Structure 1
Amino acid sequence: MTVQLSILDFQRLARIVQNLPDFGNVRDRRRLVAGALQGVAQADIILARLDLDGAPMGVSVEVVRFLAQFGRVAYDKEALAVFLNYIQPFTGDEDTDFIIELFRNYPLDVPVSPSRGIGNWKGVDSTSDIKEKIIGENTLRDIYILNLALEASKAVVRIATPDGLGTGFMIASDLLMTNNHVINSQEVGEKSDFSFNYQLDIKGKQCPTQTIGALAGGVFYTNEALDYTVVTLKEVPGFGKPLIFKSKLMRRDDRVAIIQHPGGHLKKISIQNNFVAYADNQVLQYTTTTEPGSSGSPVFDDDFQVVGIHHSGGMLLEPNTQQKYLRNAGTSAIALLSDLKNNTPEIYTRLQR
């Protein structure tokens, strides 16, 4: 199947691709396309057949034309859809809205979940702040944390809803947690797909993935203010152990890590040079790399226990101050556990704590 873009849509998309930060030369273009197709079985074929040499405008036209005509790749996605989901975080607001509109108007797939109105960010507080942290941090870690990370990653799930893509994680044998702005109702949950093991293996090849649905009429709970949802899945594969919550008040400069499906793509981890910037019993703010599609990811402490759920990023107001900083943010596990204990004890009693 190919994607037949209108002339105006084709021309605008070509201009967007031309203006991408990594489209100035052949080497960067190849890296960009290879990154978009990481884990796709046909990636080598596409890269071998795609001519990336020439002036940016001409090459952008060729890229859009070729990917639109290539057809489907992994998980019944169009090659063009995979590329668009990858570049969307690197475009401005108007171009992002245009890309999302393409997904609505053409049989592509679904775009990554939109942000909560706080700009996309891969962030730092300031150049001087982050340099001080990176240079001053002791980056030596005990090797066992790699085992903890790998074990925890088994419970992290890619979510495809009718409106977008996100991330979730298993908190019991059949219960998954994600953001309210990813799944805000039982109806949306029951129309969503949940993919386990969507990642690369030790040889850099895509792993076999199992995709299941939500259990119709299963336990469901959501809290818009805290931006989280719990949904029951059906026929859950053997994914490992549910993640463990830690009702722990984090402190400034504590390390955190996030395992996520950024942009709805293959599972990734952000583990280095990530620090808590602010924490109280409800709010976590931190310097950790994420992208749209990372919404609903677990925020881990050094023991890879869940201390929060990620929901957004951008210029955030630090509570109790008048200062705004470029940060990512989530809801603290303290608030999550308290809310579940008070409002859904049937879920609370099943959690690993």
Structure 2
Amino acid sequence: MSSTLREQQELAASRYKRRAPKRAETERQQEATGTLVVDDPDQIEARAERLLGDAVGSRAVRQAARHEGVLERIIAENDLQPSLFLGRGTAIAESVGRISLVDGGAGTGFLVGRRLLLTNNHVLPDATTAAGAFVEFDFELGPDGRPEAPAAFDLDPDTLFLTDAGIDASLVAVAPAGGVLAGDKYGWNKLLKQQGKIVIGEAANVIGHPSGRRKEIAVRHNRLLDQLPDFLHYEADTEPGNSGSPVFNDQWEVVALHHSGVPRTNDAGQWLTTDGAVWDRSMGDAAVAWVANEGARISVVLTRLRALARTPAQTALVDELGAEALVGAGRPTEGALRVTKTARETTGRAGVRAVPETPPHVVFVHGRSQQGRDPLVLRAEWAGGLARGLGAVGRAPLDPARVWFPFYGDVLAELAGPSAVERTIIEGDGAPAAVRAAPSASSARATYAALIEDAASLAGFRPPSTDREGFGDLVAGLQPALSWLADKSRLDDLFIAVRFRDVALYLDDDATRNRILSTVLETIPPSGAMTLVSHSLGTVVAMDLLTRLPAGVEVRLLVTAGSPLGMDSVNKRLLLGGPRRPDVGRWINAWCPADAVAIGAPLAPVWGGVEDVQTAKTGESAHSIVEYLADLRVASAIGEEA
């Protein structure tokens, strides 16, 4: 089933007419409260929490909600925007293109993945139409007012084409051009299924190609008028060629897929002109009294299109939208899981490039145990912690889209294995005889734990927790105990083998090291000033990475957090060949006495030229990168360079 623009306009007019009492009540409340933001309390709180949560926290948001009108004013008073509003909008606009059809018609589409384009069903009603169409990016005026040279990409419905006439949405694959995927060149929009992206009274910004013209943007005096179960109604200057345009909030998150203007109608349902007369087609669309616009809610679009994926291959492609787009969309089929797992075992998830890809660059390098996670989600978590720290010193948050996030978690998981760890523990040259003679890996760990406890007791220190895998808690006094143990034996190496199995694998296996470094280098900017932020095992990877960066990259700030670089058995195996300060402008090392991984910190006595920042976290948060980045000293340094 397919739809036409006229059919969608008729349906939109009918829905708009039925909602007249609701809009009248909204207008009454707006006048009574003196704010444009009038919506359900749950919607307002969800929106405020999304806007403030990273910097303030959800608890503070809930407390603020107790004071009538506070959250509404926070949301509504947004005509003054930070300067990054323009830069972020310019970057996002690159992902919007003009769709050209065989019959000469035109529409708008926007990238939602490296090779996925979203538009309307009435623009691309079927695979045959899509096969004859192409999308052009850079069909716009440049900064100097001159036309840019557009780049055309064919659509590839044979790979993927999903459409739903009810919500007027089509998702289609985009074929590479010259071996380049469209998303790798122009970026794409990260779609979010969760609520809280916009409320009634907020601005709704639209980017598209009205009447097929070069790209245009409708910003600011465009307001969300109403929220329906499947659609949004909003003010905006649009024209027929805007069909398929993304509708954004002020944070440039997609909230709706635009598909139709809403004409004013009389009681008989006839369209009216701007002077109140009954309209007919001979007058042209310019004579219509357009009262609003309608777009499908992006959460509904995601749910509907995800349900249309029938085969494992289709499901795997839709899964490229990312976890945040598919939350609550249902569990993939067993076949889809098998396809995804196979691809992950072969290549791993790709890292996330920054948008725009312009210096100064910020690069996050993650640590161990991240396999299977979405790099977009991880990047957002890191940026959220940093936003807390920046907020504490009065700085604006860093847009996560500006961050490069190399991802090697799946590759590391593929290369690591229990057998490698068991051999390191049981067969290592420096392992004590009692450990080597243990009948199994589990008993070897128990023997090792007993040796640590005995030796630490002799030295008068509390032993580490060795009752589970992962990062345990260590009190500050334990650090000299392990240093003493390392001096008397090779238990330092054994500690890494048991507790830091991935670190040991990376350091001792050249093939693993080279594979991980190659994976990281796939998502590293080619030139320009860089702030390199790393965590845990990622600090070891980052230190090696500094020896392989492109020649045009200048690392002005290196941040290591929760790092094992102070341990001799780590730094002596680095590509640098020991604790020799790398060629970076400034180096900040964040560590915590309760963080087992930072066992060799502070680093300044060993490395020299390091600014050690000691935090005071406890429990599991001691090793958390979010907590390290929330430290105002760490955040301030990053904010100064970013």
Q: Same fold (TM over 0.5)?
A: yes
Does 2:110 align with 1:169?
Answer: yes
Q: Partner amino acid for 1:260? A: G
**Which residue of the other structure, out of 140, 143, 148, is the alignment partner of 1:207?**
148
Q: Partner amino acid for 1:153? A: A
Is the Cα contact below 8 Å between 2:208 and 2:215 reproduced in 1?
A: yes
1:267 aligns with 215
Q: Can you give the 5+ residue segments of structure 1 that lack an aligned partner in the other structure? A: 1-112, 318-323
Does 2:241 align with 1:350?
Answer: no
1:286 aligns with 234
Is the Cα contact below 8 Å between 2:164 and 2:305 reproduced in 1?
A: no
Q: Partner amino acid for 1:326? A: V
CA 1:349/1:316 → structure 2, altered by over 3 Å: closer, same or farther?
farther
Shift of 1:333: 0.8
Q: Partner amino acid for 1:286? A: Y
Distance in 1 of aligned mates of 2:316 and 2:169: 17
CA 1:331/1:216 → structure 2, altered by over 3 Å: closer, same or farther?
closer
User: Which structure carries more helix by proportion?
Assistant: 2
- Normalising to structure 1: TM-score of the pair? 0.59
Does 2:302 align with 1:302?
Answer: no
Aligned positions, number: 228
Rg (Cα) greater in structure? 2
Distance in 2 of aligned mates of 1:189 and 1:133: 44
Does 2:333 align with 1:333?
Answer: no
Distance in 2 of aligned mates of 1:316 and 1:207: 37
Distance in 2 of aligned mates of 1:206 and 1:233: 24
Distance in 2 of aligned mates of 1:281 and 1:314: 17
Shift of 1:148: 1.3
Is the Cα contact below 8 Å between 1:296 and 1:309 reproduced in 2?
A: yes
1:156 aligns with 96
Work out which structure has the larger RCO, using CA pairs closer than 8 Å and 6 or more positions apart in sequence.
1
Distance in 1 of aligned mates of 2:205 and 2:89: 9
1:257 aligns with 205
Distance in 1 of aligned mates of 2:242 and 2:108: 6
Secondary structure of 1:239's counterpart equals helix
Distance in 2 of aligned mates of 1:133 and 1:258: 23
Q: Can you give the 5+ residue segments of structure 2 that lack an aligned partner in the other structure? A: 14-22, 28-33, 37-75, 266-271, 273-289, 310-314, 325-642
Distance in 2 of aligned mates of 1:284 and 1:297: 14
- Normalising to structure 2: TM-score of the pair? 0.33
Shift of 1:137: 6.9
The correspondence of residues 49-128 of structure 1 with structure 2, limited to 5 A, is: 115-116=6-7, 118=9
Is the Cα contact below 8 Å between 1:297 and 1:309 reproduced in 2?
A: yes
Shift of 1:139: 2.6
Distance in 2 of aligned mates of 1:256 and 1:266: 20
Shift of 1:347: 4.1
2:224 aligns with 276
Is the Cα contact below 8 Å between 1:176 and 1:233 reproduced in 2?
A: yes
Encode CA deviations 1:172-220: one digit per residue, 9 max, x unaligned.
Answer: 1111110000001111001012101100111000001111211262111
Is the Cα contact below 8 Å between 1:245 and 1:305 reproduced in 2?
A: yes
Distance in 2 of aligned mates of 1:336 and 1:114: 18
Q: Partner amino acid for 2:199? A: R
Secondary structure of 1:303's counterpart equals coil
Is the Cα contact below 8 Å between 1:262 and 1:292 reproduced in 2?
A: yes
Shift of 1:331: 0.1
